[in-house]
Amino acid sequence: MEQILLYMPNAMLVFCRITSFFIVAPVFTARNVPATFKLGLSFFLTLMALAAVEDTPVVIDGMYILTILREILIGVLLGLIAYFFFVVAQMAGAFIDLQIGFAIANVIDPMTGMQSPMIGNFKYFLSILLFLSMDGHHLLLRAIIDSYRWVPLNNELFAQIYSGDVSNFVIQSFVTAFALALQMAAPIVASLFLVDVGLGLLARSAPQFNIFVIGIPVKILIGLVMLFLFIPGLWNLFAELFQTLFEHMEKLLELLAVPSA
């Protein structure tokens, strides 16, 4: 019992960081993943991570609540950075849907319970399949376990947040993810823009044609053809995207590992 009470404060802090990470992290945050599975996985990962933090002294006093909040915030930040880059495919699909005309018919995403565009939903599920096939979920687990080597329990997270470095990095990560989404959707969006230009010239040269009736099926047909032509290259595209994801997670850990001045 004395040994259990000795490790209980550290175990609670580790459990809070890992559980908060699973609340935000991609794949694990899906609604169809049972909560009991998340809690059970968090418990066993806590037992594995205790070996890396067992020598870290933690004092139970009035500041212990702030320490728990600090660990929860670290887990949420790591999961949020991963989530930014994971929804790049969904944002790219939203741009494509807006150009094709599918944005008017959003569907319910069973993973998040929110409305999402059809092509965005298709690319999101495709990104999940590729992420799992690339063993990305194991890399996420490894990242949260290795975070204790970079950011121990006696870290200075609040000082880093006060300096503004963490906030700037989160904003820069979101901007990078948004730029990647634009780059991913650019070929199809540019093709559909050329279709709009051609339809505009047709309407100018042959006013008897009803462009609103002709243009919608033409844009849908060309958009779907272009989409399926780009599908073989999505493996390399998503591989680079997931590599960028883990690079930004590592940069965040390096930022949090820097002692405050």
Average pLDDT of each block of 10 consecutive residues along the chain (261 residues)? 67 87 84 82 85 62 80 90 87 83 61 64 84 87 86 78 84 90 87 85 77 78 85 84 90 76 40
d(CA 8, CA 92): 45
pLDDT of 110: 55
Who contacts 98 (Cβ-Cβ below 8 Å, separation ≥6)?
117
pLDDT of 200: 81
C-alpha distances (whole Å) from 156 to each of 40, 70, 74 are 29, 9, 11
d(CA 89, CA 122): 9
Instruction: Return left, alpha or beta for 117; rule: phi > 0 is left, psi -120 to 50 is alpha, else beta.
Output: beta
DSSP 57: -
Q: Give the global pTM.
A: 0.80
pLDDT of 259: 55
CA angle 101-107-113, nearest 5°?
145
Find tokens 């999505």 and name the residue: 234
pLDDT of 260: 43
d(CA 16, CA 19): 5
pLDDT of 71: 87
